[in-house]
Amino acid sequence: MEPVFLRFNSYNFEADQRFVDGLKTFSKSEKSREVTELLKLKLFFYNKFVEPIDQHDYKTWSSSSSHGGGEQLDQRTPLQNPPPPTSAGPEAQQLSFAEVMQLVQEGKEVPGVKRLDIKPSNQSPTPSQMKQVLKPWNTSASAGGL
């Protein structure tokens, strides 16, 4: 996960026109809140347009490492040199809907999708504890209706 964080820290947000345009709508307030909000915006943008990054893990990594916080980003990597693709990187974002459907239908793994370890509990369902809400047509019938 650390290579993703290093690439995020070195991403040149100022050279990315999409980010700059979106930043123009960002209203500035007090300085400490501005830095926190700017980091959130950068994490959101990077996750959506560059490659997946876990925001919570990045913040933990950033606070525990000597690579500087989100406010001390190294801006050396230009937009023309995107980071090298990873297994969950931009390749996963380039698939069309039809390609994803084809992979699913063939039973193949979709790149960039996390596998969750979900297993059935094989227990019977718990009975509902709430009273059923009657529909309008049921309330008039029960009140003496038809």
pLDDT above 70 coverage of the chain, percent: 68
Tokens standing for 132?
């059923």
pTM, rounded to two decimals? 0.34
Residues 85-110 have pLDDT tens digits of 444 444 446 788 888 899 899 988 88
| C-beta neighbour count of 8 within 10 angstroms | 22
For 62-88, the pLDDT digits (tens) are 888 665 544 444 443 334 444 444 444
Question: Please, how many CA atoms are within 13 Å of residue 42, restricted to the half-sphere of its CB?
Answer: 24
Nearest of 75, 8, 80 to residue 44 by alpha carbon: 8
Token digits of residue 11: 């991403």
Q: For residues 74 and 129, which has the higher predicted lDDT (pLDDT)?
A: 129
